[in-house]
C-alpha cells in the first residue's frame, strides 16, 4: 500500500513539473488587426485588445498561469490601465485569468449565463463578472463603439460576438473555430442548429472587408466565415438524413460520412470521433417529430 502511494506521489510531482514547464514555454504572439485593434494568441482562446485614449479593453484572458505574460504583451501595446475584460463565454480557456485580473481591480463583463455558470462552478468572487447583461451591451471607448451581441444557444448558452464598430472587426469567441471542427458544449447550453443559425446570420451583418478574430485558429474574414458556414451546412445535410432514418450513432460512424472533412478539420480541439458523436446526437435528439 505504502509503495503504491509513493508511486502515485512521484507520478503526481512529475506531472506537476511538466505542467509548469508547459506554461513556461508558451509565448504570447501579437497580431495587429487594424489601428488600435490587436489579436493575441498563446494557449487557449484568442484574445482581442482595443487600445486608445480611454485605455485598454480586453476580450478573454486564457489561463491563470499566463496572466503575467498576457499583461506584458499588452504593455508593449499600451501602458494605460486595462478598464474591462469581456468574456465571450464561460469556458476556462477564455476565463482562466479572470481571478488574477479581478484582483487587480479590472472590471469583468459578460452575459448573464456566463456569470451564472462561473458562479455555479464555485469560481472565486474576483473571477466573476461585476457587470452582466441579457441581450446586447455597448462599450463606448477609444473613439469606437464595441457592441456585444448575445446568442442564446450556439457554442454554449452564453456566447457573445463583439462588433468593433468603426473598425470593421468582429471577435466571434468560440462560435468560430477557424479551420477546425467546432465544439458544441451541449451540457453548457450549446446547440448545433443554433451554431448554424448564428454563422448564417453573422454573414449578413458583415462585408467583404470585415476582419474576424475567431475563438481558435488564425485571423480570418468574411470569406473564411463563408467557408466555415458552407462546411457546417454540408455536414448537416449529410448527417440529418441519417438521423431521420433512425440510424444509431455506431451505424453512422461505420459509414464514415465525414471522411472528406476529417483530414482538414479533425486535427483541432475536436477529433473526428468526438465531433461526429456530439453533432449527430444533437441533430438526432432535436429532429422535428
Ligand atoms: Zn469555448
The model's pTM: 0.92
Residue 277 lies in a domain: no
What is the whole-number distance in angstroms between the Cα of residue 188 and the centre of ligand 1?
10
Return the pLDDT at 212. 98
Mean pLDDT of 85-90: 98
Q: How is residue 89 written as a grid cell?
A: 463565454
Q: Report residues near ion ligand 1: CB below 5 Å.
A: 91, 174
Q: Is residue 21 part of a domain?
A: no
- 53 CA distance to ligand 1 middle (Å): 31
Cα-to-centroid distance, 17 and ligand 1 (Å): 26
Q: Is residue 44 part of a domain?
A: yes
| Residue 263 counted as domain residue | no
Query: Residue 149 sits in which domain range?
Result: 28-220
Q: What DSSP string runs through the chain? A: -HHHHHHHHHHHHHHHHHHHHHHHH---EEEEEETTEEEEESSSSPEEEE-STT-EEEE----GGGHHHHHHHHHTT--SPEEEEE-SSS-HHHHTTHHHHHHTTPEEEEEHHHHHHHHHTT--GGGS-SEEESSEEEEEETTEEEEEEEESSSSSSSEEEEEEETTTEEE-GGG-BTTSPPP--TTTT--HHHHHHHHHHHHTT--TT-EEE-SBSS-EEHHHHHHHHHHHHHHHHHHHHHHHTT--HHHHHHH-TTHHHHHHHTTSSS-HHHHHHHHHHHHHHT---
Position 170 in a domain = yes
Residue 155 alpha carbon to ligand 1 centre in Å:
7
- CATH number for the domain that contains residue 209: 3.60.15.10
- Whether 161 is covered by a domain: the verdict is yes
**Angle (nearest 5°) at CA 158 between 155 and 160:** 85
Q: How far is the CA of 220 from the centre of ligand 1 (A)?
A: 18
Query: 82-86, 99-103, 267-271 — which is least confidently predicted?
Result: 267-271
pLDDT digits (tens, 9 = 90+) for 11-68: 333 334 445 558 999 999 999 999 999 999 999 999 999 999 999 999 999 999 999 9
pLDDT at position 20? 53
Residue 179 lies in a domain: yes
Residue 144 domain flag: yes
Distance from Cα 159 to the centre of ligand 1, integer Å: 9
Number of domains in the chain: 1
Q: Phi/psi zone of residue 236: left (φ > 0), alpha (ψ -120 to 50 degrees), beta?
A: alpha
What was the pLDDT predicted at 2? Answer: 36
Whole-number percent of the chain with pLDDT over 90: 91
Average pLDDT, stretch 137-142?
A: 98
Give the pLDDT confidence score for residue 5 in this predicted structure: 38
Residue 112 C-alpha to ligand 1 middle, in angstroms?
16
Amino acid at each position: 500500500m505504502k509503495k503504491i502511494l509513493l508511486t502515485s506521489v512521484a507520478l503526481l510531482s512529475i506531472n506537476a513539473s511538466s505542467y509548469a514547464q508547459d506554461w513556461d514555454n508558451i509565448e504570447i504572439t501579437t497580431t495587429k488587426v487594424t489601428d488600435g485593434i490587436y489579436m493575441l494568441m498563446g494557449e487557449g482562446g484568442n484574445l482581442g485588445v482595443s487600445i486608445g485614449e480611454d485605455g485598454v479593453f480586453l476580450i478573454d484572458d486564457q489561463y491563470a498561469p499566463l496572466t503575467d505574460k498576457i499583461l506584458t504583451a499588452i504593455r508593449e501595446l499600451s501602458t494605460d490601465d486595462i478598464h474591462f475584460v469581456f468574456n465571450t463565454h464561460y469556458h476556462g480557456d477564455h476565463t482562466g485569468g479572470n481571478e488574477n485580473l479581478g484582483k487587480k481591480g479590472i472590471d469583468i463583463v459578460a452575459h448573464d449565463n456566463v456569470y451564472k455558470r462561473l458562479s455555479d462552478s464555485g469560481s472565486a468572487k474576483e473571477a466573476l463578472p461585476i457587470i452582466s447583461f441579457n441581450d446586447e451591451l455597448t462599450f463606448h471607448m477609444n473613439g469606437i463603439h464595441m457592441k456585444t451581441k448575445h446568442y442564446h444557444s450556439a457554442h454554449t448558452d452564453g456566447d457573445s460576438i463583439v462588433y468593433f464598430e468603426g473598425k470593421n472587426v468582429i471577435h466571434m469567441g468560440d462560435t468560430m473555430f477557424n479551420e477546425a471542427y467546432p465544439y458544441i458544449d451541449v451540457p453548457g447550453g450549446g446547440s448545433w442548429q443554433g451554431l448554424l443559425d448564428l454563422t448564417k446570420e453573422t454573414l449578413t451583418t458583415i462585408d467583404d472587408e470585415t476582419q474576424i478574430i475567431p475563438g481558435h485558429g488564425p485571423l480570418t474574414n468574411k470569406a473564411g466565415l463563408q467557408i466555415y458556414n458552407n462546411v457546417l451546412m454540408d455536414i448537416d445535410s449529410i448527417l440529418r438524413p441519417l438521423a431521420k432514418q433512425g440510424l444509431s450513432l455506431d451505424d453512422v460512424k461505420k459509414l464514415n460520412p465525414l471522411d472528406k472533412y476529417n483530414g482538414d478539420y479533425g486535427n483541432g480541439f475536436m477529433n473526428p470521433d468526438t465531433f461526429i458523436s456530439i453533432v449527430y446526437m444533437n441533430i438526432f435528439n432535436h429532429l422535428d417529430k
